[in-house]
């Protein structure tokens, strides 16, 4: 079997075999860092202790929160999808873009297999080694939006849950992926008024889960204001609160 190549999709069984045999480590460039940054590693360790280390959206949120690049191996049941995040550059590197993955694969079953330092650098890096083909770099907002809307997590991310009200930063929506229907009207309405999850879930075309997904997507893309002192702040609807902390 050839050495593991993170530039392409592999079957999960082949990836697991390569990792068990140590061929993932052997393929690592000698000049590539061997450990993730301390702050990001501490957050991922916390998620592991909470049993949430496989929660792809929480891991994406941790990388975005710390502005740290990382290579994530995402398992969707049959294939492993390698995705390298570059939050500081607003980009991600992958052999497949998020939209095509959502159309062709079951990203609703995504789970994290592993996270490690990136094997490639972002375009424009002062050190040109390991800068990959430019057609493999894409806007990070597209990945974050797609996984939030179609991934396995149906509930609010832990950092934006609680007794809160939400509002959209209209100026930050220009880079969001195109949306239509109820999602588009919800984003526009949140640009005009603050509202809690329970209220948003009753807007046309919304439900508690769908509203939670939209709020997660807006938050990860930097277009959401989360206010705990606003008069409209409310806790999540009864019956849904238990899901807010549930990890998948």
For the stretch 12-26, pLDDT in tens is: 888 888 888 777 764
Residue 193: per-residue pLDDT: 95
Percent of the chain with pLDDT over 70: 84
Q: Report residue 31 as tokens.
A: 């000049």
3-state SS string for 159-222: HHCCCEEEEECHHHCCCCCCCCHHHHHHHHHHCCCCECHHHHCCCCCCCHHHHHHHHHHHHHCC
Tell me the backbone φ, ψ of residue 139, rounded to 5 degrees. -60, 130
Q: Locate 179 and state its tokens.
A: 């949306």
Name the percent of the chain lying above pLDDT 90.
47
Mean pLDDT score of the chain, rounded to an integer?
Answer: 84
pLDDT band at 99 (very low <50, low <70, confident <90, very high): confident
pTM (2 decimals)? 0.85
Structure-model confidence comparison of residues 168 and 30, the more confident one: 168
Let me know: does 69 contact 88? Beta carbons within 8 Å: yes
Q: What pLDDT was estimated at residue 141? A: 95
């Amino acid at each position: 079997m050839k050495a593991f190549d993170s530039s392409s999709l592999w079957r999960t069984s082949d990836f697991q075999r390569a990792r068990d045999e140590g061929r993932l480590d052997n393929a690592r460039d000698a000049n590539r860092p061997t450990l993730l940054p301390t702050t990001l590693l501490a957050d991922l360790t916390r998620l592991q202790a909470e049993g949430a280390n496989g929660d792809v959206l929480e891991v994406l949120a941790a990388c975005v929160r710390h502005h740290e690049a990382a290579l994530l191996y995402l398992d969707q049941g049959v294939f492993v999808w390698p995705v390298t995040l570059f939050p500081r550059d607003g980009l991600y590197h992958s052999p497949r873009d998020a939209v095509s993955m959502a159309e062709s694969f079951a990203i609703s079953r995504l789970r994290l297999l592993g996270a490690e330092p990136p094997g490639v650098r972002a375009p424009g890096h002062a050190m040109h080694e390991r800068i990959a083909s430019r057609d493999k770099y894409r806007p990070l907002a597209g990945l974050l939006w797609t996984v939030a809307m179609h991934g396995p997590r149906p509930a609010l991310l832990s950092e934006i849950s609680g007794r809160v009200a939400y509002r959209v930063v209209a100026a930050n929506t220009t880079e969001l992926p195109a949306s239509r229907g109820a999602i588009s009207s919800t984003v526009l309405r949140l640009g005009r008024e603050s509202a809690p999850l329970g209220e948003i879930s009753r807007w046309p075309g919304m439900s508690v889960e769908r509203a939670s997904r939209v709020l997660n997507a807006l938050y990860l893309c930097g277009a959401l204001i989360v206010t705990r002192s606003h008069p409209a702040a409310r806790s999540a609807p009864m019956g849904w609160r238990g899901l807010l902390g549930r990890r998948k």
